[in-house]
Amino acid sequence: MAVVGSIPVSEEEWRAAYGLAPERDAPFTTLSGEAIRPLYTERDLPADREASIGLPGQFPFTRGVYPSMYRGRLWTMRQFAGYGTPEETNARFRYLLGHGQTGLSTAFDMPSLMGHDSDHPRSLGEVGREGVAVDSVLDMETLFAGIPLDEVTVSMTINAPAAIMLVYYVVAAERQGVASEQLGGTIQTDILKEYIAQKEWCFPVDPAMRLVTDMIEWCSRHMPRWHPISISGYHIREAGATAAQELAFTLKDGLTYVEHTVARGLDVDDFAPRLSFFFNAQIDFFEEVAKYRAARRIWARELRDRFGARKPESWRMRFHTQTAGVSLTAQQPLNNIVRTAIEALAGVLGGTQSLHTNSYDEALALPTEEAVRIALRTQQIIAHETGVANTIDPLGGAYFVEALTDRMEELCYEYFHKIDELGGMVEAVKRGFPQREIADAAFELQQEIDTGRRIVVGVNDFTDGDGEETMILRIDPALERKQIERLETMRADRDEEPLAQSLSALKNAASGETNLMPLLIDAARAQATEGEIVKALQEVWGDYREHPTF
């Protein structure tokens, strides 16, 4: 082909011209280590690309799960919040709703996540520090006091004791006059991810999976607007996984929950539409966009072709996104505003249904109200000023994005094959396979940062300007004493007879195959604490000991 002036007009001529200039010294790879070529063209896409890309709202949903996407409705802006006692978090919820937030997301403290009451010896010094302390249904009532639960969707990030927190929420709503059928929201519940990455568990793997299946079954019949599980890649990525590992392990977890629920006798179309997902948004913009697109495509095909789901609603993967906490730096924390904005934009252009933007000070402490406001304003600027929500899937068809999406799908299925060879995800978790893969990936990335091969601004390069003091939120230690006193008062005032009966019935049922949700509701109404319920179940099921990773 001819050259117009000095401008190459064929790919071969471009390559010759490109080779005349030296490349800069940089790792031309994704954050996950995938090599990136200097240019992508139509040749990098498969011949049947139209079938794999499709249209928004149509199978395989690569371009989005709804036909109108953000032209019809923006994503839900759902900021994670929780600290101190239920009163403090209730005030923060009201603050966020007053500043334009459109959904609530609850962060629980470490004792609550681990199934301990606030006065447990292991809870000392941890009550209300990393989230809100919830010991009983009375705390849940206080947490949502004055917030109409039939009008606001609520997300709760808790896993091993998720069934307990859900029944507390159901009973608290009941006392507001709101039936379970009216409640909308999500509870995380993803216990496999706990064994893989977050390490917050109460029970061995098999009974924990039974409890998850109980929740999915019960919610499919009594909470039609509720998502009983949010299958979570977020924590897997925060533990050091690559984007492909986050994608593969998360989807394989999700498919495992489907297997267990179908084995319970439920039709896949009766519960699959209420399954939801939770992904990380890391700093590698295009890799993240590709990850979300591949996730939708894989899930749709697996549900339709493997499980025989007939309803399009069962094929649609809906997901929440949170920007990457692990990408935030304690050094030069204001830089985190920029990181969060880029990550949030990746989530939006990847088609998320809801989004949490981290606050710039979260590498130092729980966020201040100012930091939370800036994080929320970041989403609002993206939504209302940038124009990115004006057209559907604006990156669709871009050669690089589509090629990277295909590569993500390929890597995901390679992991699926390895997991299947081990006997499935439950067995792989018991053997420590995903745990080892994540540990290796985390080590490799940290080596790149430590050697300076991968630049982190303000950490290993461009470090001038350090030493500026950042105001941080400090949790009053007196709040722990306040929460324990509330717990002691509740215990002293409750009727012990229905409490003992409910816990005894729960233990008896735990040794059989009965769905435990109705019995957990009875225990919540009798004001059983979280720790008492966990202890009752552990007396039947035992505890969990992790398989050595190395």
The beta-strand segments (E) located in 121-245 are 154-157, 185-187, 226-227, 229-232
Element housing 370 (H / E) = helix 369-384
Query: What is the identity of the amino acid at 210?
Result: R
Residue 52 covered by a domain = no
Cβ–Cβ under 8 Å, residues 315 and 59: yes
Residue 529 covered by a domain = no
In the structure, what pLDDT confidence band is assigned to residue 47 with cuts at 50, 70 and 90?
A: confident
Nearest CA-CA partner of 489 in 139, 133, 111: 139
Residue 69 covered by a domain = yes
Residue 274 covered by a domain = yes
Predicted local distance difference test score (pLDDT) of residue 23:
92
Residue 330: pLDDT above 70?
yes
Cβ–Cβ under 8 Å, residues 159 and 191: yes
Residue 45: pLDDT above 60?
yes
What's the pLDDT tens digit per position in 147-168? Answer: 999 999 999 999 999 999 999 9
Predicted local distance difference test score (pLDDT) of residue 101:
79
Write b or e for each residue in 421-457: b if 16 or more Cβ atoms lie within 10 A of its Cβ, otherwise e.
Answer: eeeebbebbbebbbbebbbebbeebeebeeeeebebe
Average pLDDT, whole number, for the chain? 94
Token digits of residue 251: 């989807």
What's the pLDDT tens digit per position in 459-470? Answer: 999 998 766 677
Residue 6: pLDDT above 70?
no
In the structure, what pLDDT confidence band is assigned to residue 1 with cuts at 50, 70 and 90?
A: very low
Helix or strand or coil: residue 154?
Answer: strand
pTM: 0.93
Predicted local distance difference test score (pLDDT) of residue 113:
96
Write b or e for each residue in 361-385: b if 16 or more Cβ atoms lie within 10 A of its Cβ, otherwise e.
Answer: bbbbbbbbeebbbbbbebbeebbee
* CATH for 442: 3.20.20.240
Residue 481 covered by a domain = no
Average pLDDT over residues 510-536: 98
Residue 350 covered by a domain = yes
HEC sequence for 7-47 = ECCCHHHHHHHHCCCCCCCCCCECCCCCECCCCCCHHHCCC
Residue whose tokens read 């009752």: 536
Query: What is the identity of the amino acid at 390?
Result: N
Residue 441 covered by a domain = yes
Average pLDDT over residues 115-138: 96
Total count of domains within the chain: 1
Within 10 Å of residue 31's Cβ, how many Cβ atoms? Answer: 19
Residue 2: pLDDT above 80?
no
Tell me the β-bridge partners of 81: 106
What's the pLDDT tens digit per position in 375-411? Answer: 999 999 999 999 999 999 999 999 999 999 999 999 9
In the structure, what pLDDT confidence band is assigned to residue 475 with cuts at 50, 70 and 90?
A: confident
Residue 25: pLDDT above 70?
yes
- More confident of the two residues 474 and 341: 341
Structural domain that includes position 134: 64-395+408-450
CA–CA distance, 389 with 322 (Å, rounded to integer):
18
Residue 413: pLDDT above 70?
yes
Residue 429: pLDDT above 90?
yes
Residue 297 covered by a domain = yes
What's the pLDDT tens digit per position in 177-227? Answer: 999 999 999 999 999 999 999 999 999 999 999 999 999 999 999 999 999
HEC sequence for 67-117 = CCHHHHCCCEECCEECCECHHHHHHHHHHHHHCCCCCEEEEECHHHHHCCC
